[in-house]
Chain A
Amino acid sequence: MSQEYNFAYLDEQTKRMIRRAILKGLAIPGYQVPFASREMPMPYGWGTGGVQVTAACLTPADTLKVIDQGADDTTNAVSIRKFFERTAGVATTESTRDATVIQTRHRIPEEPLTEDQILVYQVPIPEPLRFLEPRETETRVMHALEDYGLMHVKLYEDIARNGEIATAYAYPVKVEERYVMDPSPIPKFDNPRLESAAIQLFGAGREQRIYALPPYTQVVSLDFEDHPFNPSKADHPCALCGADHTYLDEVITDDQGGRMFVCSDTDYCSRRQADGHRGDMAPPVLEALS
């Protein structure tokens, strides 16, 4: 396959077009740049935006990591990693530290990223105002006028009705005090890590939008003074590595209500176990890395 297609699948003209959109996005943090998204050999909604952005960023010297739900071994992450192994021939890794480009769906790695890294998000609906106003023609004007009243009313109504803001993922943020941005469906626990040393790029293929956060960009989760933003997580330590500061998956272990909580970031969890951290249900030491 790598012989029949160009490096990283897309032709150079298309990559150039995407890079222009990325540069524009970096110049206007949080602004959604329209781009002529291509049809990819994987379905829309399955990461075609992220794949196009990754394809435009990759060089032969890069090391790529792909995660979905924080894990390297979920089916779609495997499929996308395989796609780039075949079409770009780049090195791949499961280690957050060793990766130069990380494509992700729904999580930000636990480990702080560095200035030498690019984090690429797969975005289903880039428009944070979409569920308040379905028309693109309207939402573009709202962004242009910085008219975010509707969003604040929504958050206020949440508090009035439920006692708190009823958004647990894709929690809206404001970038450099200008654009309200959808951080993609990451849990709100991850929102504080949107302020990062790495370049963060967001690709929405079906919706034909790219947006970006340059390193160290100010990213504030929307809230009210008397109802401050709360990046909540399950109130448990990880059953495998014992971490009490990571985002956890809840795993059903039997049909009697048994459950356990484990790190969603599998690389971070296994690294901690290798360093000797043990949770309540950790396997014996020698098996931990198998």
Chain B
Amino acid sequence: MYVAVKGGEKAIDNAHSWLAEERRGDVAVPDLTVDQIREQMALAVHRVMAEGSLYDPDLAALAIKQARGDLIEAIFLIRAYRTTLPRLGHSRPIETDDMACDRRISATFKDLPGGQVLGPTFDYTHRLLDFKLAAEGEALADTAPIAPVDQAPMPRVTEFLNRDGLIQTEQASDATPPDMTRAPMAYPAGRPLRLQALSRGDEGFLLGMAYSSQRGYARNHPFVGELRIGKVPVSMEIPELGFDIEIGEITVTECETVNQFAGSKTEPAQFTRGYGLVFGQTERKAISMALVDRALRWQELGEDNVGAPAQDEEFVISHSDNIQATGFLEHIKLPHYVDFQSELELVRRMRLAAGADEVKEAAE
């Protein structure tokens, strides 16, 4: 006997209770605090802020806790929350020239004004599991030495090249950039929108796209001209006051690549640029962004479109957002039995027709 599918509401409530229980895990193990996540899972927090497009380490840490460590789910929580926030205005552009750098490296010069600063990087760690971390009551073995405060400015590598005309000059513009969160995307999107989309795009997707360009799908010889990570002040003009005030500071990662360009008969050979800027300490993402940005600039720089995915603006932007992608991908879990039923009937009817034909042929 057919039992009507009822009880969806109760099933959902029960699923939510079970989820809450699983999120907490074994109650004999102490509850993880949001502070602990913010301080000790900082790079996860940074990724959630970057792809969630909301700079708030506490909320990002809360989202990670609520999402049981599923970062895309955490990003989704942040995005949904972000939509409800009022828009009070916009800040001045941040000035990364004045960044208080924790890390600043250049792969194109051995040494340079301001020096190479490795900062807190995994780069030269040997990837060996540190079982001391698993031991109870971890104590900081040795604290990092503190360098004397160095006020030496850190000028941009690309500016050295620009001074000699060796790198393509970026055109300055005072035009108000479009805002992808307030207007529907239309193609061609143009570079400001592209950079916005890449900055909040999925790290894994951009990594794959950037990697594909390195392996020859629209290869453009990138060097990391400069990578810098650190804090920059954010200021805003308050109309009632008539001047700028600093409203806080944020950590960002900026990557500028220097790429080869052959030049043409009319233009002398020049290096070209790719640019990445991402919230938080997110250098894999910032480098990926710079490579993809550069690949997408083929038209502007007079290169051939070789049909590589990384050159295709509509392809890259339409598929870089992990919240859109995961939602649509996972929606196929929803009931589709009405559609499936209509296909079932169609396939049965077509098979019946094919079977009838076979019988007819045999008879002839």
Residue in contact with A106 in the complex, picked from B84, B314, B338, B343, CB distance below 8 Å: B338
Q: Are B335 and A76 in contact, with the CB atoms below 8 A?
A: yes
Take A40-B80, A40-B83 as given contacts and tell me if A206 and B11 are in contact as well, using a CB distance cutoff of 8 Å. Answer: no
Take A45-B330, A250-B344 as given contacts and tell me if A137 and B1 are in contact as well, using a CB distance cutoff of 8 Å. Answer: no
Q: How far is the CB of A117 from chain B (nearest CB, A)?
A: 21
Q: Are A46 and B331 in contact, with the CB atoms below 8 A?
A: yes
Q: Are A106 and B9 in contact, with the CB atoms below 8 A?
A: no
Residue in contact with B339 in the complex, picked from A74, A185, A281, CB distance below 8 Å: A185
Q: How far is the CB of A246 from chain B (nearest CB, A)?
A: 12
A247 to B324, CA, bound (A): 32
Take A39-B82, A163-B353 as given contacts and tell me if A71 and B5 are in contact as well, using a CB distance cutoff of 8 Å. Answer: yes
Query: B122 interface residue, CB < 8 Å from A?
Result: no
Q: Are B339 and A206 in contact, with the CB atoms below 8 A?
A: no
- Minimum CB distance partner of A71 in chain B: B5
Contacts of B187 in A (CB 8 A): 136-137
Q: Are A5 and B84 in contact, with the CB atoms below 8 A?
A: yes
Contacts of B11 in A (CB 8 A): 75
Residue in contact with A250 in the complex, picked from B4, B334, B341, CB distance below 8 Å: B341
Among the listed stretches B101-109, B177-185, B215-223, B258-266, which one makes contact with chain A, having 4 or more residues with CB under 8 Å of it? B177-185
Query: A41 interface residue, CB < 8 Å from B?
Result: yes
Q: How far is the CB of B62 from chain A (nearest CB, A)?
A: 15
Q: Are B80 and A39 in contact, with the CB atoms below 8 A?
A: yes
Contacts of A162 in B (CB 8 A): 350
Query: B27 interface residue, CB < 8 Å from A?
Result: no
Contacts of A266 in B (CB 8 A): 4
A5 to B330, CA, bound (A): 27
Query: B12 interface residue, CB < 8 Å from A?
Result: yes
Q: How far is the CB of A265 from chain B (nearest CB, A)?
A: 10
Q: How many residues of A contact B (CB 8 A)?
A: 67
Q: Are A77 and B342 in contact, with the CB atoms below 8 A?
A: no
Chain B residues numbered 297-330 whose CB sits less than 8 Å from any CB in chain A: 314, 318, 323-324, 326-330
Q: Are A283 and B8 in contact, with the CB atoms below 8 A?
A: no
Residue in contact with A206 in the complex, picked from B9, B186, B188, B328, CB distance below 8 Å: B328
Take A35-B184, A45-B327 as given contacts and tell me if A169 and B2 are in contact as well, using a CB distance cutoff of 8 Å. Answer: no
Q: Are A45 and B329 in contact, with the CB atoms below 8 A?
A: yes
Contacts of A77 in B (CB 8 A): 8
Q: How many residues of B contact A (CB 8 A)?
A: 50
- Minimum CB distance partner of B182 in chain A: A36
Q: Are B345 and A233 in contact, with the CB atoms below 8 A?
A: yes
Take A44-B328, A75-B8, A169-B342 as given contacts and tell me if A251 and B2 are in contact as well, using a CB distance cutoff of 8 Å. Answer: yes
Q: Are B2 and A253 in contact, with the CB atoms below 8 A?
A: yes
Contacts of A247 in B (CB 8 A): 338
Query: A78 interface residue, CB < 8 Å from B?
Result: yes
Query: B271 interface residue, CB < 8 Å from A?
Result: no
Residue in contact with A39 in the complex, picked from B4, B7, B323, CB distance below 8 Å: B323
Which of A44, A124, A240, A260 has most B Cβ within 10 Å?
A: A44
Contacts of A209 in B (CB 8 A): 184
Interface residues of A (CB under 8 A from B): 5, 9, 11, 34-41, 43-46, 48, 68-71, 73-79, 82, 105-107, 124, 135-137, 162-164, 166, 168-170, 185-189, 206, 208-209, 232-234, 239-240, 247-251, 253, 260, 262, 264, 266, 281, 283
* Closest 3 A/B residue pairs (Cβ): A44-B327, A45-B331, A43-B327
Other 17 A-B pairs with CB < 8 A, given A75-B8, A166-B350, A234-B341: A11-B86, A36-B181, A39-B80, A40-B80, A43-B326, A43-B327, A45-B330, A48-B327, A68-B334, A68-B335, A76-B335, A168-B345, A187-B339, A187-B341, A247-B338, A262-B2, A281-B2
